[in-house]
Amino acid sequence: MSQASDRVYTALRAGILDGRYGFGDRLGEIEVAADLGTSRTPVREALRRLGSEGLVEVLPNRGARVRTWTAQDLEETYELRAVLEGLGARRAAGQVTAEVVDELAALAAEMVTVDPSLGHRPPGDFADLAALNARFHAVIVGAAGSDRLAATLAGLVQLPLVMRTYHRYTPAALARSHAHHHEIVDALRAGDGAWAESVMRSHVLAARAVLLASHRDGATGTAATDPEGQAS
């Protein structure tokens, strides 16, 4: 992959995640190349890469567009995440170090302190909470010790980034998410793989329920303005 293609990929991916390119927006090679000051070849390569990650649909003879997520997409993606992240938590419980568990406990506690629904941040300011959440899940996947699992999950976690999930959470749903994080830490500290897997699966499926309810209410038609409101 060329440097030019990498630059286009980075710019397009950022634009999709921060809402500059909305769901269903066309990404014409000529227009994108003109906007980014490059030729069409690196644009084509970048679009192909984004297509493999599930962020873009490349349509035969019709160009590319930002992917629109259906209810079935949400169902399938979160079912897969529940299984795979549950497996990751189970594996991590059998080998995670005390230092890593302490790090996870600190992340879970800090997520509560930056939750805007609790008055710790301006309403709608989910950037810090989202970053901490992403770190929490990444640490667990890393502790599972499986490069194959990490690579498989990498594509699936694009969805909550695009959907900016935290904007769709009620205070009660956020409280449940925090409770799950703390219980996952307890399960890992106890070295109980079955417990860790069960809570992680429940955690991811609860996030799926939030997104599906939001989808039914018609909230997925446009991208939100905050690029970092993603949850599990």
SS3 of 59, please? strand
The per-residue pLDDT for range 45-61, each reduced to its tens digit, is 999 988 887 788 888 77
Q: Which of the residues in the chain have pLDDT under 70?
A: 1, 157-165, 215, 217-232
pLDDT value for 221: 39
pLDDT value for 163: 52
Q: Which residues contact 51 (CB under 8 A, 6 or more apart)?
A: 57, 58, 64
DSSP 66: E
DSSP 130-179: HHHHHHHHHHHHHHHT-HHHHHHHHHHTHHHHHHTGGGG--HHHHHHHHH
The topology (CATH level 3) of 4-66 is Arc Repressor Mutant, subunit A (1.10.10)
pLDDT value for 84: 96
Sign of CA dihedral 23, 156, 114, 173: positive
Domain boundaries, the chain: 4-66, 71-216
Beta strands in the chain (DSSP E): 26-27, 56-59, 63-66
pLDDT value for 196: 98
Q: Which CATH number does 71-216 carry?
A: 1.20.120.530
Q: How far is CA 84 from the centre of its chain?
A: 14
pLDDT value for 77: 87
Q: What pTM does this model have?
A: 0.76
Q: What angle do CA 84, 149, 8 make, to 5 degrees?
A: 110
The per-residue pLDDT for range 132-173, each reduced to its tens digit, is 998 999 999 999 999 999 998 887 766 555 555 677 788 999
Q: Which residues contact 81 (CB under 8 A, 6 or more apart)?
A: 153, 156, 157, 204, 232
